[in-house]
Amino acid sequence: MGPWQALELLGVGFAAGLVSVLVSLASLVSFPALLALGLPPVAANVTNTVALVFTGLGATAGSRTELSGRGRVVLRLGLLAAAGGTVGAVTLLLAPASSFQIVVPFLIGGASVFLLAQPRLARLRAAYDGAERKWRQRGLLILLFGAAIYAGYFGAAGGILILAILTAMFPTWTPQQVNAVKNTVGMCANGTAAVGFVIFGPVHWGAVLPLGLGFLIGGWVGPAFARRLPDNALRVIAATCGIAMAVKFAL
């Protein structure tokens, strides 16, 4: 990898780190960039997942205010997400590369549609706020485990799934607080998956270093933007680009 490609990945990582914090779509920025460099889909995916850990580290460091007093909750949910990320990583490593290429458009397209549907899903959640809380929380924990499996397997818009589940779990928290916990919990899912990929996967370290540095910086400054900027326009733009990307990959 030449210096210009490394510089490009640094910029891509910074942009993806910001996108990850604001609209949870880092992989929709970084994954195509790795494909454009010529990496096969599975190698691009595992390289991206390893680098994504740095986004979580940066975002956690930049969200200390929002995470204050929530250490026990983050630890409990983080352990659950770590277990799910491990299952997702094992699934990816055992599945043939050809099957991964087939499902990529559906994963990206589905995640993008899910992103567009967030306001509708929020209204549905509000309609069921009177449901029995204990069973509801158990169901949400199961969904969180499934979202972590998805994050470990592929990860594109996995943060959106985790964010929606955490919003349902903690309806009294501010969006910034939920988003901060999402970043840390998502880091746990990516972290355990990354360990498996480092040991058994085709990680391209020449891409991990500049991409991870960009992720770290973007994730660190992202919470400051999240405190000030409305995300509705970014959500629609990111989802539209994701759907277009899914169509492109399918073709």
Instruction: State the residue for tokens 């009177």.
Output: 130
Show me where the domains of the chain are located. 3-250
Q: Is the pLDDT of residue 192 over 70?
A: yes
Backbone angles phi, psi at 142, to 5 degrees: -65, -45
pTM of the model: 0.78
Six-digit token pair at 161?
């799934």
pLDDT confidence tier of residue 144, bands split at 50, 70 and 90: very high
Q: Among residues 23, 58, 61, which one has the least CA distance to residue 164?
A: 23
The rounded radius of gyration (Å) of the Cα atoms in the chain is: 17
Q: Is the pLDDT of residue 213 over 90?
A: yes
What is the spatial distance between Cα 55 and Cα 214, in angstroms, rounded to a whole number? Answer: 8
Q: What is the pLDDT of residue 243?
A: 80
Q: What is the pLDDT of residue 129?
A: 55
Six-digit token pair at 4?
């210009």
